[in-house]
Amino acid sequence: MIQGTGSSVGKSIITAALCRVFKEDGYKTAPFKSQNMALNSYVTKNGEEMGRAQVVQAEAAGIDPMVEMNPILLKPTSEVGSQVILMGRVHKNLTASEYRKEVPNIKGIVDKAYKKLSNDFDVIVIEGAGSPAEINLRENDLVNMGLAELVDSPVVLVGDIERGGVFASLYGTVMILEPSERARIKGFIINKFRGDIEILKPGIKMLEDKINIPCLGVLPYFDLKIDDEDSVTSKFTNNKNNDINIGVVKLPYVSNFSDFTPLEMEDRVSVKYITEEEGFENIDLLIIPGSKNTIKDMEFIIKSRLDRIIYKKHKEGIPIIGICGGYQMLGYEILDPKGIESSMKQINGLGLMKTQTIIQEVKDTKQVKGIIANNPINNLEIETEIINGYEIHMGQTKRFDKCKPFIELEDGRFDGAVSETGLVFGTYLHGIFENDNFRTKLIKLLIAKKGLNIDSKSLNFKELKDIEYQKLSETVRKYLNIEEIKKISGLYR
């Protein structure tokens, strides 16, 4: 089990790395995180919703994602409440205090999910959440030491040196734990190191002597084009410019920011997450992303006056795409008659397409496939292009007048909408930019509109991800004591 001294220390990516290493060494390996709080989610082949971080870890392990890898997913809907998803299905919306009362009843779900994986795999690499030093949460803990105790797992503790105070955070975390919990920690890792390792070594030796736990390695800071649970932090600070600049509106309840990873992997593309007028300068494409609370995020767009900037860009001829909640916001009205998302029963959308959305109680979660039915943006030439993706939404959107559907799905339904001009279009499909031909043609069109050289290679997103997983494996093999980690895991004694 990989635990950390806090959030964003690198637990997700180290878990993915070890999944890859064990897979390469011939072990059937699976990731596991009992409880994930994230707005970045995925839908399995069975239509079950789970955290995206465990999907990345499963990909690194060379296996299909299973909902058992993340039996509890909490999707924040407000500052104090979350939608609780159990084994891929919506349970109910609960405040933090309400959820804590339900934890004893949920414990059996976690145990059952873990046991299924344990029966099917040689190795399970478990990811903790936050920090085990949050002793006020220990009584009902199901994700750190409480889980380690439940499944009798050894623990490796990760500290982030980039934020400073790594020795104090590692020491404090270990010493605040109960002796039985402390005994589970078999090693520690220092992550995101920049500098001369020789200067760090005396501190490592002193810490080892104080806590009587060995250092398993020091990982350097390095760039990876892999989504992890905390990568949203770095994504939202990207302001570089490139041949093509794509602006993504940064919403308070933005969900599935992993939709844009394929665009970020393109050499000639810069993706910028924007909330202020200056960020909209020089963009060639504007995207309104998914949202866990469409009405509140639409209210944010209006109150922050971003709607006026979006209208300005529309008048300038900048193409605008809406994904899921962003698609709903492009229409003229969003209705929530049963108060599912908020106390507001109605809010005006941007009115850039003739559509209306009604929020409903039942969540649609399914993987889908279809073909482009109507070509958006002049000369994009993608009609009949096959599109794969997945739906995660609690609303139904109607088209009116001359607003055409975007995608014809295999099951006979139509998805999304394309405006009369074709410059505005939306879809419920997450993962749409993972479709290589669609993404490549879109980027080439944007390049051509700027009069730049179109000659650019078509990238295979799946192959690119595999290259990054290989890079990750090579790095951890170089800097971590993998043989000792295997001993800790009980693979050989």
Active site residues: 324, 430
Q: Which two structure tokens, joined as six digits, stand for 42?
A: 């995925």
| Residue ranges in 317-453 assigned as alpha helix (H) | 325-330, 436-449
Q: Which amino acid is at 119?
A: N
**Coil, helix or strand at residue 430:** strand
Find out whether 192 and 231 touch, Cβ atoms under 8 Å: no
> Parallel, antiparallel, or unpaired for β 333-335 and 355-372?
parallel
* φ and ψ of 474, to 5 deg: -60, -35
Q: Which of 277, 274, 156, 272 is nearest to 217 (CA)?
A: 156
- End-to-end distance of the chain based on CA atoms, in angstroms? 18
Residue 191 falls in which region: left (phi positive, over 0), alpha (psi -120 to 50) or beta: beta
In 110-184, beta strands by DSSP E: 123-126, 155-160
DSSP single-letter state for residue 130: S
Q: Which two structure tokens, joined as six digits, stand for 58?
A: 């499963």
Query: Other CB atoms closer than 10 Å to residue 6's CB: what's the count?
Result: 16
The residues facing 4 across adjacent strands are 158
**Coil, helix or strand at residue 260:** helix
Q: How far is C-alpha 474 from the geometric centre of its chain's CA atoms? A: 23
Burial group, residue 138, by CB count within 10 angstroms (0-12, 13-18, 19+): middle
